[in-house]
């Protein structure tokens, strides 16, 4: 039994998908299109408009007009908040449709997209809608040493940055769009969203829902296309005031260089090689489930993946057995099948990279304890990689150093707390981490010492609209979600008013 496609989904993928610029659907200026394939079968889902520099320029100019001349940034916060809340409502109303598009385009199981991606995206918009009326400045008591007797009233205004370019990845297309759009819209900015070329469908559908919610023309523009053309043009465009990017560290560096032309504001959420640490006093059943969720949820195609499982020596062998045994039971298959627990890798280049990393590890003598079989109903043409576990991994090896971005887990032994923290922080990344222990003092102590933007204790992958998310080191800078995400899309203006009624002459001659 498979999930029957919604009629709207059939119609959506049955017609060429256009760009969304200034509230209108339009072909790319070049007339070019590209195919987006189903990673489970290899079949083409839809033909997508291939936007390039000319289309980006059209979208940027539309966003600039909407920001400077349109009603969006001048709406009352209550009005803007109601529209943003409506976007969340529409996502919930269309959850099944969006989940099917996400599953077809990305390869994740339909049940996962239905239960998690849609509701989380809606929750983000609902959360941000509440902030629209709570963006406030401060009054400041000041004194100016060289202006004795002056009486100042000083206050700050929190204003939108302006025109924002947002580039999102292929692993969570709908959710990443929500994380980017929610705070940008709440703070009164206008946006050009460039979805990943591998997974453009839900971003295109979301554009229609955003228009239906009442967002004015030009406020949200969606330009599909390739990173080397559309993405690069957006990052470098002189009329863009900020770039928000989620993706690889390598591309993040290119974004920073491209943005330097007009010194636009940049926030980056990049890669990770996250440690998931299990101490010998932990509940091993819980910890093993957390380890499985940390690496194999979303097929390991997530920057927060707990791809390095650090286990204390006293419980090491038992954890290896628990994790490897559970990994062998995960059912791969067509993501439309209710029994499927893991779908295919989202695209061919990523599939090839994962396979190469596994082969290289085996050639180097790594001990694989799970991952030789596939199981489930797996289409022969699909991009399927079985959940793979390596034990006794050295933290200096490629398996432990490089972000694989797939269902590949490295298990690393450690001696004591100091040793665990040293291994965990011995990485160029600093995005997420996990700690499994029943010792409250140890939990807090290790959480403080880990170099990571997020530390989970006795859980992994928990996400909430209210909780800030982001990294350090090669994992980037800036924050998504929570109040801190709003700061990425605001600038502060200071207003100083002299109430003394006189202006001292700085050139007055004193005798």
Q: Which domains does the chain have, with CATH numbers?
A: 24-270+475-493 (3.40.605.10), 275-457 (3.40.309.10)
Is 269 designated active site?
yes
Distances (CA, A) of 357 to 106, 289, 301, 395, 402: 21, 25, 14, 15, 9
Q: Does residue 247 come out as left (phi exceeding 0), alpha (psi in the -120 to 50 range) or beta?
A: left
DSSP letters along 367-425, please? Answer: EEEE-S---S---TTS-----EEEES--TTSHHHHS---SSEEEEEEESSHHHHHHHHH
What pLDDT does 48 receive?
Answer: 97
Q: How far, in Å, CA of 424 to CA of 274, rounded?
A: 8
Q: Which token pair is 279? A: 């101490």
Mean pLDDT of the chain: 94
Averaged over 454-472, what is the pLDDT?
Answer: 94
Based on the residue annotation, tell me whether 10 is a catalytic residue of this protein.
Answer: no
Work out the pLDDT band at 379, boundaries 50, 70, 90: low
Contact (CB, 8 A) for 72 and 188: yes
Is pLDDT at 376 greater than 50 in this prediction?
Answer: no
The C-alpha atoms of residue 490 and residue 479 are separated, in whole angstroms, by: 13
The CA radius of gyration of the chain, in Å to the nearest whole number, is 25
pLDDT tens digits, one per residue of 16-68: 899 999 999 999 999 999 999 999 988 999 999 999 999 999 999 999 999 99
**Catalytic choice (97, 269, 403, 488):** 269
Q: How many residues does the chain have?
A: 511
Residue with tokens 């239905």: 114
Smallest Cα–Cα separation from 214: which of 87, 379, 29? 87
pLDDT (average), residues 253-278? 95
Catalytic: which of 102, 303, 480, 488?
303
Q: Give me the mean pLDDT over the 480-504 stretch.
A: 92
Query: Residue 2: what pLDDT?
Result: 61
Give the rounded percent of residues in the chain with a pLDDT score beyond 90.
86
Rounded Cα–Cα distance for residues 23 and 219 (Å): 8
Exposure on the CB side of residue 416, measured as CA atoms within 13 A: 1
Mean pLDDT along residues 372-394: 80
Rounded mean pLDDT, 168-190: 97
**Whole-number pLDDT of residue 509:** 61
Question: Which letter, b or e, does each residue of 249-279 get, where b requires 16 or more Cβ atoms within 10 Å of its Cβ?
Answer: bebbebbeebbeeeebbbbbbbbbbbbbbbb
């Amino acid at each position: 039994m498979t999930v029957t496609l919604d009629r709207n989904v059939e119609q959506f993928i049955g017609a060429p998908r256009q760009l969304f610029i200034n509230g209108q659907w339009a072909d790319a200026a070049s007339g070019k299109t590209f195919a987006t394939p189903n990673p489970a079968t290899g079949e083409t889902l839809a033909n997508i408009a291939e936007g390039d520099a000319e289309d980006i320029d059209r979208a940027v100019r539309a966003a600039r007009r909407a920001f400077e001349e349109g009603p969006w940034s001048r709406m009352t916060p209550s009005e803007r908040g109601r529209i943003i809340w409506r976007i969340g409502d529409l996502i919930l109303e269309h959850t099944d449709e969006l989940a099917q598009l996400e599953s077809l385009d990305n390869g994740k199981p339909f049940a996962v997209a239905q239960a998690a991606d849609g509701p989380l995206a809606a929750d983000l918009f609902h959360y941000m809608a509440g902030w629209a009326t709570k963006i406030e400045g401060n009054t400041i008591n000041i004194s100016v040493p060289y202006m004795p007797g002056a009486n100042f009233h000083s206050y700050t205004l929190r204003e939108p940055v302006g025109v924002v370019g947002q580039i999102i990845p292929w692993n969570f297309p709908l959710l990443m769009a929500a994380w980017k759009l929610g705070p940008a819209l709440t703070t009164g900015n206008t946006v050009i969203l460039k979805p990943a070329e591998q997974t453009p469908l839900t971003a295109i559908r979301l554009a229609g829902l955003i228009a239906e919610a009442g967002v004015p023309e030009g406020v949200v523009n969606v330009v599909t296309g390739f990173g080397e053309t559309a993405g690069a043009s957006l990052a470098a465009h002189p009329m863009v005031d900020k770039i928000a990017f989620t993706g690889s560290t390598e591309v993040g560096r290119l974004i920073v260089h491209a943005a330097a032309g007009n010194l636009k504001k940049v926030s980056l959420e990049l890669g990770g090689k996250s440690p998931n640490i299990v101490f010998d006093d932990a509940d091993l059943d819980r910890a093993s489930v957390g380890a499985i969720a940390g690496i194999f949820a979303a097929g390991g195609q997530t920057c927060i993946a707990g791809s390095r499982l650090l286990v204390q020596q006293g419980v090491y062998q038992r954890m290896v057995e628990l994790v490897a045994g559970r990994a062998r039971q995960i059912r791969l298959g067509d993501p439309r099948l209710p029994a499927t627990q893991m779908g295919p890798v989202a695209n061919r280049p990523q599939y090839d990279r994962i396979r190469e990393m596994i082969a290289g590890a085996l050639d180097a003598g790594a001990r694989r304890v799970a991952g030789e079989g596939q199981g489930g109903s797996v289409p022969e043409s699909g991009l399927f990689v079985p959940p793979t576990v390596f034990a006794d991994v050295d933290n200096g090896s490629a398996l432990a150093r490089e972000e694989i971005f797939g269902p590949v887990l490295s298990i690393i032994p450690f001696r004591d707390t100091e040793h665990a923290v040293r291994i965990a922080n011995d990485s160029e990344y600093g995005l997420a981490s996990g700690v499994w222990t029943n010792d409250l003092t140890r939990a807090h102590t290790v959480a403080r010492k880990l170099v990571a933007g997020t530390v989970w204790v006795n859980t992994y992958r928990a996400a909430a609209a209210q909780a800030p998310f982001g990294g350090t080191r090669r994992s980037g800078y800036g924050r998504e979600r929570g109040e801190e995400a709003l700061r990425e899309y605001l600038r502060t203006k200071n207003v100083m008013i002299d109430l003394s009624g006189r202006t001292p002459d700085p050139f007055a001659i004193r005798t």
